[in-house]
Amino acid sequence: MANYRFGVLKGDDIGLEIVPVAVQVIKTAVEKYSDITIDWVELPIGYPSYLSTGETLPEETLRTLYSLDGWILGPIGHMAYPKNDPKAINPHPILRRDFDLVSNIRPAKSYPTVPSIHQNVDIVIVRENNEGFQPDRNMHKGKGEFMPTPDMAMSVRVITKRNSEMVSRVAMDLARQRNGKKKVTAVHKNTVFKLGCGLFVDTCRGVSKAYPDITFDTAVVDTFAMQMVMNPQKFDVVVTTNMFGDILSDEAAGIVGGLGMAPGLCVGPDYVMAQATHGSAPDISGKNIANPYAMVMSAQMMLSWVGNKKNDASAIKAAENVQTGIEKVLNENVFVTPDLGGTASTEEMGKAICEAIQSI
């Protein structure tokens, strides 16, 4: 009997609409398996939390997360938070850093009925999540960005062997689990960043030696970006540093239909956070038309991840059923949201996914 405790953090704007859909889809998927139970723990976060508690990330939320197996985090609209209140903070970097969520897994998959630049695309970009150039998380204290003079800005880039090893192992393990090409491509720019990217790619190469069944190669980031646009089908799992991964994963989403088709998962040694790549879309908030695909598939990835971690065959199969159900809905192209060419509401698309899972 496997029992999981998952948090539900709805976030802002459309998060209040798509996160409940994702939760219901996972509940439907595990109903078929009597040896799985899930305790769902709803926790305050974001602007709704600020209005009710005075904080966008309450201490009670952080404490509770430590007792969970993982959580679903809805999109965060932090750019709209009050600017001068220290309690109106962006939760993203704090959650990623405090829970050691080093690896950010971002798939890009095409579907025949979803308008896209390419078909037959199935790429996963694994991005280091907690260092690189991002100044909000690459220092223990202070920020990795500063201005020595009014006319000069400097940014510090941090690359460690520890995080490079962790993200590389995640990529290799994913390549083993997938039905893809069993291939990992490490993307870098060691032609210029000889020390930083050199350390990263050398570490990835060292890790690859423990995975003789996985083909390992490397690519310079600008060449890779061109090749992914022209021939994305040649790639399987891609591993790279923080900023390169941030840019390339959005590019990959654009190839297969946009950020509405871009799920994401942040993982570390002990915790996992399901977090879609897209933003909170305040322009369509409350209209019940937001595409739930990315949030549902992020939750699906979370269930699959913990299932593989605990060698739980039922959880793995339940996650596979979510994938099958959502593909059925997309392929039928009836109950899909307006951004996918349909007229269904967020709730109607979620219901169709649940019904497709029940029919398996």
DSSP string, 164-198: HHHHHHHHHHHHHHSSS--EEEEEE-TTT-TTHHH
pLDDT at 79 over 90: no
Residue 264 lies in a domain: no
Helices 293-309 and 15-30 meet at what angle, rounded to 10?
A: 40
SS3 call for 139: coil
User: Do 284 and 191 fall within a single domain?
Assistant: no
Beta bridge partners of 36: 2
Q: How many other β-carbons are positioned within 10 Å of the β-carbon of residue 90?
A: 16
pLDDT at 137: 80
Q: What is the largest CA-CA distance in the chain?
A: 64
pLDDT at 87: 95
Q: Average the pLDDT over 309-329 and give the result.
A: 96
User: Do 21 and 145 fall within a single domain?
Assistant: no
User: Do 291 and 346 fall within a single domain?
Assistant: yes
User: Do 63 and 29 fall within a single domain?
Assistant: yes
User: Do 192 and 220 fall within a single domain?
Assistant: yes
As to burial, measured by CB atoms within 10 angstroms (0-12 exposed, 13-18 middle, 19+ buried), residue 215 is middle
CA distance 68 to 7: 7
Residue 152 lies in a domain: yes
Query: Using an 8 Å Cβ cutoff, are 108 and 121 in contact?
Result: yes
Structural domain harbouring 88: 1-99+270-360
Strands (E), 130-171: 145-149, 152-155
User: Do 84 and 177 fall within a single domain?
Assistant: no
Residue 173 lies in a domain: yes
* Predicted confidence band of residue 152 (pLDDT cuts 50, 70, 90): very high
User: Do 246 and 288 fall within a single domain?
Assistant: no
Decide which of 214, 229, 258 is a domain's last residue: 258
CA distance 193 to 190: 5
DSSP characters over 49-94? HHHHHS-SS-HHHHHHHTTSSEEEE----GGGS-TT-TTS--HHHH
Residue 348 lies in a domain: yes
pLDDT at 300 over 90: yes
Query: Which pairs from 114-119 meet CB under 8 Å and 24+ separation?
Result: 114/256, 114/257, 114/261, 114/330, 114/340, 115/257, 115/341, 116/255, 116/256, 116/257, 117/229, 117/254, 117/255, 117/256, 118/232, 118/233, 118/255, 118/256
pLDDT at 251: 96
User: Do 155 and 196 fall within a single domain?
Assistant: yes
User: Do 188 and 327 fall within a single domain?
Assistant: no
User: In which element (H, E) is residue 129 found?
Assistant: none
Q: Hunting for tokens 């039905």 — which residue is that?
A: 179
Decide which of 258, 281, 301 is a domain's last residue: 258
Residue 265 lies in a domain: no
Count CA atoms closer than 13 A to 269's CA, side-chain side: 7
Chain segment 173-218, per-residue pLDDT in tens: 999 988 879 999 999 999 999 999 999 999 999 999 999 999 999 9
Chain segment 117-134, per-residue pLDDT in tens: 999 999 999 999 999 998
* Predicted confidence band of residue 141 (pLDDT cuts 50, 70, 90): confident
Q: Average the pLDDT over 225-229 and give the result.
A: 97
SS3 call for 122: strand
Decide which of 224, 258, 292 is a domain's last residue: 258
- Output the average pLDDT for the chain: 95
CA distance 347 to 253: 23
Chain segment 35-69, per-residue pLDDT in tens: 999 999 999 999 999 999 999 999 999 999 999 99
> Total domain count for the chain?
2
Residue 104 lies in a domain: no
User: Do 114 and 71 fall within a single domain?
Assistant: no
